[in-house]
Chain A
């Protein structure tokens, strides 16, 4: 599997696109990430990540409508492609399988004992 193809930030952006569909564009994604992480996320960074993801074929985009706040400029809306979905799924299954393989005793040592809750 090509882990290097999907950076951490890219993965989060890709997930956010999936979560916000069908209204996913730079602003909504950046705002969402800010809400989720509590850190400032710049539009430029998100835009760059979106561009990369689109180049890799995980996303497609189309131009949406213009609004007044945007000064009459149109927004670019993104949707996850099947290929993107597959990549996301792969990333998730890798994590899941690794999570599942952690022994309960080790989990409790890390303070991550879920069995009690």
Chain B
């Protein structure tokens, strides 16, 4: 028996040795092994063999001999040109496929770019200030129960100066309240110029980097407002003039006379991508009141600037423990310091902050766009691997003609890159032209876009190339991996084994489409519910005049108003349906849960308010002029606050049914502690706040001709225009100086749910796209399947199969996949939507028929797409498919 060296060593030696030396060298090794084995036995021979193998590790033995007819380098210029030539020919030849690819990819890339823009733009807010890491907004957290707390973006006005006094960490502070103001530039201006205004302290220039162009940051000595205007605003109101020193007047809403503002400074425009978006800044005239632990406090938005490197956690704890001691109220109010960078995206709680976005919406937005891109890429992979069938022969011939696998992969990748390149061009063009409508949809301008920022454009291009490579690599690998000997003989044993993956991808694709479709319907239902829910008062045919000071002429105006044809009833009201829950809140102990506190809202107006709103009486009586229901609140408050409070305690009030229940009020017409008044009637529940808030106990108090109030006017249906015109005319007579803001209450109410409306539109759009892309993908696959099975179909037809049978045969596979997708997607969608709905106190229910409906919709789309091609395949003449070969 011939002694043999250990197998693994032998294999190793074969590996090390260059192929052209194997014959002689391995022969030598074996011969010597045999010699040694005979001389010294197996162990020694093995040991020597090991040494021999180790000694093979030298370049002259390991170096592979280059092939005599070397193929040109994969990246030589000729080859590159060839890749593009062949690639473009292939794409042109399969133009319908290329079109499907192009459409899908363009849509995916476009959506991705758009959303990336929105996300990047949202993240860019307030990043441009040089001290952005040290600026914080003081947020007040009020504890309502053991584990319930409410956050508010304003804090006591005296807090910030107090903090600066006691803590060396605080460098500076300022209030920054944003509001809108109409300015009359010249006496003759009618409507005035609507201006976004910030109210700040003079220390503002230490906190934000404001670039002063002219004037100064100081107060003018007169007792009037000083105004800093931005460059573009100044150009708008005083084109070509020096604005410094000019005086403009506001159009008053609350004061009786226009207030003069002196322009003392001109600054560079404030960045648009900041939540402090404003055209002018005015300086507060009064020093902030000192912080006190008794009585009333004014609240404002306070911003502080800390020394760099301050540990904000430790600082927060220090401030809170001091404040708890100072207020001695068991820490009912605590403060948080919200970093400037978080304010734009994390301010759901901040009422009155107009420039904000919700991080949740951004997540949803980004998620859906990524899914869209995923679907587009899946389409690409699916179609390309399905198409592999047509390319394997070509791949085989290339390989036989000494094309390397790398060359093949590069060839296929070039095709992918070409397609992606075209899609990117299409996507960029679409992006450029849709940017405007997206800005309109969002309601704000986008500062950082791919067409305006070169760095972003470069980054995006890199990302897309990377996506293209990753997407193209798999099909290229599959196609180039076939053995030429098999493909040329027509053996495709493992060649189409990728159908498993393809099926999974189709299921994933349709699952996503179905989830997005379900989301669209549920978001729409929720929006519909909020828009159309009965609020407890009649919101139709109701006109509101926004709050002003009436200069004592409110009653007279109301009397005149009554004469306008179409006006049924009107009421001076210090609560407007979309302007917060009431004019006052009191905290009372919750009778149902010991230790918890309830917030009770107070709504006020003249005695006609309940009737104007159309509230329904449940028990007791409504307000009436026959009783002393209305309090002369304004004059009483001015005279003596304590007396006013006492009078309020004994005032008659109306109470909602749920408030009566929550506060445990059973008896009417007696002074009740929890109501802080004398309830005389119970009215049906109504929503005094938006439907984002659960209904809270609410009381209505009547006041005689309140000075600071808006007006609600009940009109006859269809008379809105006519009444509005009448009001305008009347207004001119009464208040020629004042700003009139009329609005339709129902429209205002709907506007509150703009976020849902937008989300719904967004989903509607995206669900259309995902469905379309999925259908496109499945269309490509069915075309492929029909082509591949042309012979089978032909034979079946010859043997007497019916058209319906063949359509069923081809459609069956796809319908099955979509059914699986429905089964997978439904529970996922249900769970996600249930979670989303939990944010709303009033939510729509997700009915079972929703799933059935979306499932049927998906099936209809699939069958529609598939049968179109399937019927074509089934009606084709079998002679044509069977004739060749």
Contact = CB atoms under 8 A, between A and B. Distances in A.
Interface in A11-59: 25-27, 30-31, 40, 42-45, 47-48, 51-52
Nearest to A25: B28
A31 B27 CA distance: 15
Interface stretch (A63-71, A87-95, A107-115): A63-71
B48 A40 contact: yes
A78 B24 CA distance: 12
B30 A71 contact: yes
A42 B30 CA distance: 13
A40 B27 contact: no
Q: How large is the interface on A (under 10, 10 to 19, 20 to 34, 35 or more residues)?
A: 20 to 34
B31 A27 contact: yes
Given A27-B35, A75-B27, A42 B2 contact: no
A74 B27 contact: yes
B28 A27 contact: yes
B27 A73 contact: yes
Main secondary structure of the interface of A (DSSP, over half): mixed
Give the one of B31, B57, B60 with max A CB within 10 A: B31
B42 interface: no
B815 interface: no
B28 A26 contact: yes
Contacts of A31: 32, 35
A69 B2 contact: yes
Q: How large is the interface on B (under 10, 10 to 19, 20 to 34, 35 or more residues)?
A: 20 to 34
B837 interface: no
Contacts of A66: 27
B373 to A, nearest CB: 56
A25 B35 CA distance: 15
Contacts of B29: 43
A108 B55 CA distance: 41
A72 B868 CA distance: 65
Contact of A47 (B28, B35, B57): B28
Contacts of B746: none
Nearest to B22: A73
B756 interface: no
A51 B60 contact: yes
Nearest to A41: B55
A66 B30 CA distance: 12
A42 B55 contact: yes
A42 B55 CA distance: 7
B26 interface: yes
Contact of B61 (A47, A63, A67): A47
Given A48-B60, A51-B60, A42 B51 contact: yes
Contact of B30 (A44, A47, A70): A70
B56 interface: yes
A43 B52 contact: yes
Contact of A48 (B26, B34, B51, B61): B61
B32 A30 contact: yes
Contacts of A52: 60
A52 B31 CA distance: 22
Contacts of A43: 25, 28-29, 32, 52, 55
A40 B52 CA distance: 10
A75 to B, nearest CB: 6
Given A70-B31, A73-B24, 4 more contacts: A25-B24, A42-B51, A66-B27, A74-B24
Query: Ordered nearest first, which 9 A-B pairs have the shortest CB separation?
Result: A73-B27, A42-B55, A70-B27, A44-B55, A69-B34, A76-B24, A26-B28, A44-B56, A69-B31
Interface of B: 2, 21, 23-32, 34-35, 48, 51-52, 55-58, 60-61
